[in-house]
Amino acid sequence: MSMQRVSSAYAQAKSAFYGWRITGLMLGPRAGGTGVYIFGSTLFILPLEQALGMSRATSSLLFAMANLMSAASAPISGYFMDRVGPRKVLLLSVVVCSLGYAAFAAADSVTLVFVAFLGPISLTSLNVAFNVSTAIVNNWFDRNRATAMGVLQAGAGVGSLIILPILAFAINLWGWRAAALLGGGIILMLGLPAALLAKDTPEEIGLFPDGNAGRSNDGADDRLTGASTREALRSRAFWLLAMAGVFFGGAIIAVQVHFVPIMVWRGSSEVTAAAQLTMMAAAGIPQVLFVGWIADRVGRLTVGAGLSLLAAAGVTLLNAGGGGWTTWVAALMLAGAQGIYPLTWATVGQIFGRRSYSTIRGYLMGLQGLAGVATPVAAGFLFERTGGYTQALWGVAIMWALAAVVLTMTLRSASPLLTDQPRARA
């Protein structure tokens, strides 16, 4: 009996370790995609305007449409992830995305820049940065899902902390074309190991989520449990989460796309604005780690609503502070905003299970993409019309406040199955 207990404990420890090992592998594409595309795109706005004569409205439209294409492709990518496995989708996406950045680097007109960004880059970048890693971690974890996804988001922050200064230095020293080529190389270098070595589910090696060893006697496969896409689309929880995602997703994308121009408008130099962006990414690392850990214990939607309110306060300070030290404080307050994503995706896994997780999540991202087009374009239009970002930032603050309200509504009005409490330990 004693030996059996030792063997069982060893198997559980081994399985738990392997789940965190998979999470570690996913940090590569997460960091590369987030650092180069999600945060790095804002570094290219001013150089593109200077080199190709793009207006602020045109450059805003470019990145907004890229976000729309990324979001529109998410349900399709999710469908294939649920059927052929996330790892194969990651492999294809890493290769195509890196080639897209090579095409972007070679573009010599505004039209070709649009083709590169709206084609290979936008259609695959979110698979590299978010979609695949989130799907795989959802498969490997249950009660510690938000913690694991928080680790992924922190890894994205580490990647941004390292990658953003590299890209900013490359733009300053060699120009935006060299930086774009370098970005594609970073994605390829960090994404390929994960695509080649990861496992889609714990069942592939005879395990269950959260590190439970062995299979049940009847051979049941936990991958088949959970709601179908149709069932999810008919639920109140899906549409509340979609509404919240439209608000906080649109706010986050607007700030990401315009972050460097906003800071320049507030009096920072381009180099200082890049440093503030890097600092924001660095400050987000411990925040996101703590947020994931605490959310698995006090409630994922509760913590998500709190982060939304903190971001709203940060934008308000940025808008009303007048520059100087207030821009640095505002960037610190905005640092935790990225933590809303892992909490939302952990909630989706908690509610709908693993059966159609990637497809369901893809539809949510598609709806977020509508806001992801509107808010950056609106911000660029308002800048062109007023010469500043004041009106746009007030709108972003309101969107974050509304996100907090809707996340709270989701918690309060959901059925017992959709409660915000983490699932009980087995």
Residue 120 DSSP class: I
Quick one: average pLDDT of 151-169?
A: 82
| Alpha-carbon span 123 to 120, nearest angstrom | 5
**Residue of higher predicted confidence among 367 and 238:** 238
Q: Is 156 helix (H, G, I), strand (E, B) or coil?
A: helix
What does the DSSP assignment read for 284-310? Answer: HHHHHHHHHHHHHHH-HHHHHHHHHHH
Q: For residue 213, which phi and psi values (nearest 5 degrees)?
A: -85, 150
Q: How confident is the model at residue 58 (pLDDT cuts 50, 70, 90)?
A: confident
Per-residue pLDDT, 96: 95
What is the value of pTM for the model shown? 0.74
Per-residue pLDDT, 26: 92
Q: Is 420 helix (H, G, I), strand (E, B) or coil?
A: coil
Burial classification of residue 121, based on how many CB atoms lie within 10 Å of its CB (0-12 exposed, 13-18 middle, 19 or more buried):
buried
- Half-sphere exposure of residue 259, counting CA atoms within 13 Å on the CB side? 31
**Residue of higher predicted confidence among 103 and 349:** 103
406, pLDDT greater than 90: yes
Mean pLDDT is lowest, of 69-83, 131-145, 287-301, 351-365, for 287-301
At the topology level, CATH places domain 18-202+227-418 in Growth Hormone; Chain: A; (1.20.1250)
Beta bridge partners of 226: 353
262, pLDDT greater than 50: yes
pLDDT tens profile 87-131:
999 999 999 999 999 999 998 888 898 999 889 998 998 889 888
| Alpha-carbon span 185 to 12, nearest angstrom | 38
Per-residue pLDDT, 17: 57
Q: Is 226 helix (H, G, I), strand (E, B) or coil?
A: strand
313, pLDDT greater than 90: yes
| Alpha-carbon span 8 to 81, nearest angstrom | 32
Between the alpha carbon of residue 71 and those of residues 61, 118, 120, 126, 367, the distances in Å are 15, 12, 14, 8, 7
Angle ∠(156,372,182) on CA atoms, nearest 5: 45
Mean pLDDT of the chain: 82
Per-residue pLDDT, 362: 87
Quick one: average pLDDT of 231-243?
A: 89
Which residues lie below 8 Å from residue 9, measured CB to CB, with a gap of 6+? none
Which residues of 133-189 form beta strands (DSSP E)?
Answer: none
Question: What is the 3-class SS of 345-368, one letter each residue?
Answer: HHHHHHHHECCCHHHHHHHHHHHH
The stretches of 175-299 forming alpha helices (DSSP H) are 176-197, 229-233, 236-265, 270-298
Residue 53 DSSP class: -
Quick one: average pLDDT of 48-77?
A: 82
Quick one: average pLDDT of 191-214?
A: 81
Q: Look at residues 125, 229, 240, 236 and name the one whose alpha carbon lies nearest to residue 184.
A: 125
369, pLDDT greater than 80: no
Which residues lie below 8 Å from residue 108, measured CB to CB, with a gap of 6+? none
269, pLDDT greater than 80: yes
**Residue of higher predicted confidence among 52 and 14:** 52
Per-residue pLDDT, 277: 81
Residue 109 DSSP class: S
Q: Look at residues 125, 156, 164, 124 and name the one whose alpha carbon lies nearest to residue 23.
A: 156
Mean pLDDT is lowest, of 193-207, 221-235, 290-304, 369-383, for 221-235
Quick one: average pLDDT of 27-50?
A: 86
| All structural domains of the chain with their residue ranges | 18-202+227-418
Q: How confident is the model at residue 1 (pLDDT cuts 50, 70, 90)?
A: very low
Quick one: average pLDDT of 128-153?
A: 86
Per-residue pLDDT, 115: 92
Q: How confident is the model at residue 376 (pLDDT cuts 50, 70, 90)?
A: confident
Q: How confident is the model at residue 211 (pLDDT cuts 50, 70, 90)?
A: low
Quick one: average pLDDT of 80-92?
A: 92
